[in-house]
Amino acid sequence: MGTSRTPRTPRTLRTRRTGTALAVLLLTALAATSCGRSGESPEHDLADARNPRTPADVLLDSRTAAAPASVRAYRSTEARALAYDAWRQSRAHARRTAAARTWGLARAPLLAPLPPAAKPRLTTPRGFETTGGGAGLPPVITRVPTDEKVIFLTIDDGKDKDPELIRMMRELGVPYSAFLSDFLASEDYPYFHEMQDAGVALNNHTLTHPNLRLMPYEAQRREICGQQERLRREFGTAPRLFRPPFGNYNGDSLRAAASCGVEVVPLWEQEVFPDRWAYRRASRSFQPGDIVLTHFRGRADWKGTMPDVVRQVLRKADAEGFAVARLEDYV
């Protein structure tokens, strides 16, 4: 006669199912973060992860094949998943630390928190209102209402196209947003395609960079909506964000922008150059949600390069305990 086995209790079954579910959730998170802000690329084929019938431990084994023996030694699927995540994050941090030294920084930039589950409500602050535009206009902002210690780096126009900028930001895992004027950006669209492939949002800064306040409505609409269409054709989507050149706008500017899909008009609180800063308010410290402006410029125009400008921003952010976040995640 065979040896009888004690049947598992429902509680044991629930425990095993909970453990498997936890492992699957961890694996999903690992797959989602493998190309995240750390800049790490996936090391294994994740095709099996799309098959819900694949056991969690088999999925995990395929992910941890390159991990050290100390990670693979865990017998529990849940523990092995946690150990793998810690090992992967440690490697990503080591790479960012090495990249920081390469780019002349004392430490790796702080990582931004996860984006908010719901984007904050945006309103135009006092002093930035317009007349004659009508209802339903996009809000004009200089900062994002948030309690998180984050700032947002934005770069305007597209004149200087320094490949070192793209490489630096990719290696450091720093997000930023571009606001392009077509008469400059169109000189080298492939440069901005590479930027887009790295996860950078390409936003509207008009076709020819005019002072919109000096133009009638229809001329403003051609500048703004013409750039919306140009960006859509070249990069696949019309942006939601528009920044007026020089920060100059009126009610007609906002009405024209709204007519072709613009939802937010981000200005800035601080502007950075290779050798100095400019501020809208008396305080020179970062405040949560500050939008920081710089331009695509090089030594032909400034006393430095784009990496010099980025170092300025990251050193100040590090000294004040701020991370750089992605503007489009908040607005």
Instruction: Assess if residue 216 is contained within a domain.
Output: yes
Contact indicator for 273, 235 with CB cutoff of 8 Å: no
Q: Looking at the predicted structure, is the pLDDT value of residue 24 above 80?
A: no
Instruction: Say which residue, 17 or 214, is predicted with more confidence.
Output: 214
Contact indicator for 170, 39 with CB cutoff of 8 Å: yes
Domain identity same for 271 and 185: yes
Contact indicator for 7, 81 with CB cutoff of 8 Å: no
Domain identity same for 201 and 153: yes
Contact indicator for 173, 314 with CB cutoff of 8 Å: no
Domain identity same for 314 and 261: yes
What backbone phi and psi angles, to 5 degrees, belong to 277? -125, 155
Instruction: Assess if residue 130 is contained within a domain.
Output: no
Most confidently modeled range among 51-55, 94-98, 131-135: 94-98
Q: Coil, strand, or helix at residue 128?
A: coil
Mean pLDDT of the chain: 85
| pLDDT at residue number 294 | 98
Q: What Rg, from alpha-carbon coordinates, does the chain have? A: 24
Q: Coil, strand, or helix at residue 211?
A: coil
Of 76, 102, 128, the position where a domain reaches its end is: 102
Domain identity same for 212 and 305: yes
Sequence-distant (6+) residues with CB within 8 A of 119 are 329, 330, 331
Domain identity same for 322 and 187: yes
| pLDDT at residue number 133 | 62
Of 83, 102, 121, the position where a domain reaches its end is: 102
CATH number at residue 275: 3.20.20.370
Instruction: Assess if residue 135 is contained within a domain.
Output: no
The β-bridge partners of 291 are: 152
What is the arithmetic mean of pLDDT over 119-146? 90
pTM of the model: 0.79
Domain identity same for 259 and 312: yes
Output the six-digit token pair for 55.
């056991």
Q: Looking at the predicted structure, is the pLDDT value of residue 82 above 80?
A: yes
Domain identity same for 226 and 82: no
The length of the chain is 331
How many structural domains comprise the chain? Answer: 2
| pLDDT at residue number 27 | 46
Positive or negative, the Cα torsion across 215, 217, 218, 222? positive
Q: Coil, strand, or helix at residue 278?
A: strand
Instruction: Assess if residue 256 is contained within a domain.
Output: yes
The β-bridge partners of 265 are: 140
Instruction: Assess if residue 157 is contained within a domain.
Output: yes
Q: Looking at the predicted structure, is the pLDDT value of residue 148 above 70?
A: yes
Measured CA distances, 9 to 4, 13, 17, 125 (Å): 15, 7, 13, 62
Domain identity same for 170 and 268: yes
Instruction: Assess if residue 115 is contained within a domain.
Output: no
Structural domain including 54 reads: 12-102
How would DSSP label each residue in 51-93? -TTS-HHHHHHHHSTTS-HHHHT--SHHHHHHHHHHHHHHHHH
CA pair distance 184, 323, nearest whole angstrom: 30
Q: What is the DSSP letter of 177?
A: E
Q: Looking at the predicted structure, is the pLDDT value of residue 208 above 60?
A: yes
Domain identity same for 97 and 155: no
Domain identity same for 318 and 176: yes
Q: What percent of the chain has pLDDT over 90?
A: 69
Q: Exposure of 165 by Cβ count < 10 A (0-12 exposed, 13-18 middle, 19+ buried)?
A: buried
| pLDDT at residue number 14 | 37
Domain identity same for 75 and 181: no
How would DSSP label each residue in 4-58? P-PPPPHHHHHHHHHHHHHHHHHHHHHHHHTTSTT-PPP-S--GGGG-TTS-HHH
Domain identity same for 189 and 287: yes
How do strand 150-157 and strand 323-325 relate by DSSP bridges?
Answer: parallel
CA pair distance 242, 203, nearest whole angstrom: 6
Instruction: Assess if residue 221 is contained within a domain.
Output: yes
Q: Looking at the predicted structure, is the pLDDT value of residue 45 above 50?
A: no
Q: Coil, strand, or helix at residue 142?
A: coil
pLDDT in tens, 274-317: 999 999 999 999 999 999 999 999 999 999 999 999 999 999 99
| pLDDT at residue number 327 | 98
| pLDDT at residue number 261 | 97
Instruction: Assess if residue 107 is contained within a domain.
Output: no
Q: Coil, strand, or helix at residue 117?
A: coil
CA pair distance 1, 17, nearest whole angstrom: 31
Of 102, 129, 151, the position where a domain reaches its end is: 102
| pLDDT at residue number 60 | 60
| pLDDT at residue number 305 | 97
